[in-house]
């Protein structure tokens, strides 16, 4: 009979999500805490590769994956990896009350339902005489915000007086909303139109709402130091987040990493520093990027020009004016690109946008009706309106902060930005060094976003930049959301890192 620890691990999916999005993670947990370890998934791939040419042709990344797998397997066999014994496996609760378009109903409503699910699970375990003494929460994308709301509800109800909070992890969660930085026309249109297509959740993510009777948006209240939600988050000693540095169309680096800046905006001018054992997918959090020297940047520009000519000529690199033959070679590809762009711009995109707007309008109507019904029922049942805006008085706040200051040994400095960039020392010329001085200007964020960043970063976080390169769907790949999609394998490294280095059971 499989034995478990006294630990409940809660997984909360994101916008439009469902429980199946955690299929890989739940399978990985099962394997990690039983005889069939996580590494077996990767080492099994060797069975499909010959030991000669095909094996030698593996990418460096695949070799890194196999190396990690062997490392985990070796630690298991040597007995050094005690935490993933089958006797320590946590109970896993994958939330299901907000699947699909139900995520349109608002972070608060979804968060309340997540809290309900957790309470119901705890009651069930208690009736079955199964002890649960610890709890951890994982939020993916919007699920991280639902989770932050849910733990505030649990905190207010005194759940954490009986059960100890341990881990709080988010993957690609928009902690400071999704309002895009900038004031140009495309950005303004995005910030104006999109929030009106996903009902209450959209208004909250873009901070266009007023939370209950307060004068601030819900997102700001979640990060307010005097709110129940902030204090609940502070009780989890092991806070960690994973944020994509590129190829994530849903959640930008700055909001997933709670950062005023984005050192990954121009990846051509920096060298990425991988985390030993987990590179190149996860970057070294102490110094994820190094600014390229001026000579390196000039060399990249030269090689880029060479590559362009090489692509055109189909042969060696030759610098100079394109020949007539080369120009004729360019034309078919150029015409094809123009045709594709025109078709997308004038035919496909309008249809997609129209369908999205119609669907969003319909679902917003249904969501508004659900919201009215939900809050009518909940008001009499829990009286949530009475404590939504509860703030701890200063005396209690000082006591909590003092206790937490002694209790939290984890995490790196919250000022991740200070360590993001390391300068290259290979050139001694002072002018070269001056030109390479890497100043990260703050993004054009709103004052509310900046306040949230300062507030959330007053807590200790372990932050991990993630580089997904094999697919443009980095948002899905980071948790291997679809196991049958190509390019998801880099997410396996992320989940391995989380299980092996972050999750404390």
Residue 168, in any domain of the structure: yes
Q: 193: domain range?
A: 4-33+85-260+383-411+442-502
pLDDT at 443 exceeding the cut of 70: yes
Radius of gyration of the chain (CA): 25
Helix axes 324-343, 294-313, angle to 10 degrees: 100
Output the pLDDT for position 385.
Answer: 42
Residue 474, in any domain of the structure: yes
Q: Are 473 and 254 in contact (CB under 8 A)?
A: no
pLDDT at 356 exceeding the cut of 90: no
Output the pLDDT for position 351.
Answer: 58
Output the pLDDT for position 331.
Answer: 52
Output the pLDDT for position 173.
Answer: 98
pLDDT tens for 28-86 read 998 888 744 444 444 433 333 344 443 443 445 455 445 555 555 555 555 444 444 44
Residue 114, in any domain of the structure: yes
Q: What backbone torsions phi and psi does residue 148 show, to the nearest 5 degrees?
A: -65, -35
- Cα–Cα distances (Å) from 468 to 38, 66, 110, 272, 464, in that order, read 20, 17, 29, 13, 13
Output the pLDDT for position 349.
Answer: 54
Alpha helices (H) in 2-49, listed in sequence order: 23-32, 39-43
Residue 161 and residue 131: Cα distance in Å, rounded? 15
Output the pLDDT for position 387.
Answer: 40
Q: Are 166 and 90 in contact (CB under 8 A)?
A: no
Residue 185, in any domain of the structure: yes
Q: Are 198 and 15 in contact (CB under 8 A)?
A: yes
User: Domain of 124: which CATH number?
Assistant: 3.40.50.1820
DSSP state of 441: P
Give the position of tokens 């994820």.
288
Helix axes 489-497, 23-32, angle to 10 degrees: 50
- Most trustworthy range by pLDDT among 33-42, 59-68, 237-246, 418-427: 237-246
Residue 421 and residue 287: Cα distance in Å, rounded? 6
For residue 245, what pLDDT band results from cuts at 50, 70 and 90?
very high
- Averaged pLDDT for residues 98-124: 94
Residue 361 and residue 372: Cα distance in Å, rounded? 17
Residue 31's beta-bridge partner residues? Answer: none
Mean residue pLDDT of the chain comes to 74
Q: How many helices (H) and strands (E) does the chain have?
A: 20, 9
Residue 307, in any domain of the structure: no
Residue 233, in any domain of the structure: yes
Q: Are 159 and 186 in contact (CB under 8 A)?
A: no
In percent, the amount of the chain with pLDDT more than 70 equals 59
Give the position of tokens 């699947």.
99
Give the position of tokens 């968060």.
111
Q: Are 203 and 279 in contact (CB under 8 A)?
A: no
Beta carbons within 10 angstroms of residue 292's beta carbon: 19
Nearest Cα residue to 241 out of 226, 259, 229: 259
Residue 62: in which H helix or E strand, if any? Answer: helix 60-78
- Averaged pLDDT for residues 298-315: 45
pLDDT tens for 156-193 read 999 999 999 999 999 999 999 998 887 788 777 777 77
Category of 277 on φ-ψ map: left (φ > 0), alpha (ψ -120 to 50) or beta:
left
Count of domains observed in the chain: 1
Q: Are 172 and 242 in contact (CB under 8 A)?
A: yes
Output the pLDDT for position 337.
Answer: 62
Nearest Cα residue to 417 out of 281, 278, 258: 258
**What does the chain come to in residues?**
505
- Averaged pLDDT for residues 321-350: 55
Residue 115, in any domain of the structure: yes
Residue 103, in any domain of the structure: yes
pLDDT tens for 267-282 read 877 889 999 989 899 9
């Amino acid at each position: 009979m499989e034995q478990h620890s006294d630990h409940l691990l809660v997984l909360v999916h994101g916008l439009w999500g469902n429980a199946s999005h955690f299929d890989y993670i739940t399978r990985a947990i099962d394997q990690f805490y039983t005889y069939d370890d996580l590494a077996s998934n990767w080492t099994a791939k060797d069975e499909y590769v010959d030991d000669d040419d095909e094996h030698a042709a593996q990418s460096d990344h695949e070799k890194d994956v196999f190396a990690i797998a062997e490392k985990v397997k070796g630690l298991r066999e040597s007995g050094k990896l005690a935490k993933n014994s089958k006797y320590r496996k946590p109970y896993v609760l994958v939330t299901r009350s907000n699947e699909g378009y139900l995520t349109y109903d608002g972070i608060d409503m979804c968060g309340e339902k997540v809290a309900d699910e957790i309470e119901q699970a705890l009651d069930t375990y208690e009736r079955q005489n199964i002890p649960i003494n610890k709890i951890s929460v994982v939020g993916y994308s919007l699920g991280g915000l639902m989770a932050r709301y849910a733990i505030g509800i649990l905190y207010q109800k005194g759940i954490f007086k009986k059960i100890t909070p341990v881990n709080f992890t988010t993957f690609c969660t928009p902690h400071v909303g999704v309002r895009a930085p900038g004031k140009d026309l495309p950005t303004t249109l995005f910030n104006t139109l999109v929030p009106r297509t996903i009902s209450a959740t959209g208004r909250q993510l873009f901070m266009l709402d007023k939370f209950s009777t307060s004068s601030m948006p819900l997102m700001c209240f979640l990060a307010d130091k005097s709110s129940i939600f902030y204090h609940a988050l502070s009780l989890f000693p092991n806070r960690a987040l994973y944020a994509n540095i590129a190829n994530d169309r849903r959640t930008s680096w700055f909001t997933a990493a709670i950062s005023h800046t984005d050192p990954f905006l121009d990846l051509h001018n920096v060298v990425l520093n991988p985390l030993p054992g987990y590179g190149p997918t996860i970057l070294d959090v102490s110094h994820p990027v190094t600014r390229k020297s001026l000579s390196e940047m000039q060399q990249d520009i030269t090689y880029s020009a060479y590559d362009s000519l090489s692509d055109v000529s189909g042969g060696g690199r030759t610098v100079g004016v394109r020949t007539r033959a080369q120009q004729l070679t360019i034309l078919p590809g150029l015409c094809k690109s123009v045709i594709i762009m025109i078709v997308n711009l004038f035919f496909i995109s309008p249809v997609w946008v129209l369908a999205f707007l119609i669907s969003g309008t319909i679902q917003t109507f249904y969501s508004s009706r659900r919201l009215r019904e939900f809050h009518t029922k909940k008001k009499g049942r829990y009286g949530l309106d009475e404590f939504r805006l509860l703030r701890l008085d200063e005396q209690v706040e000082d006591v909590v902060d003092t206790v937490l200051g002694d209790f939290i040994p984890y995490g790196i400095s919250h000022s991740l930005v200070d360590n993001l960039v390391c300068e290259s020392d290979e050139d001694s010329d002072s002018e070269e060094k001056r030109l390479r001085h890497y100043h990260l200007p703050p993004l054009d964020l709103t004052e509310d976003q900046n306040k949230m960043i300062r507030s959330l970063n007053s807590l200790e976080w372990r932050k991990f930049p993630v580089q997904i390169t094999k697919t443009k769907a980095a948002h899905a790949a980071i948790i291997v959301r679809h196991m049958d999609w190509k390019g998801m394998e880099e997410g396996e490294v992320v989940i391995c890192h989380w299980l092996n280095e972050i999750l404390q059971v």
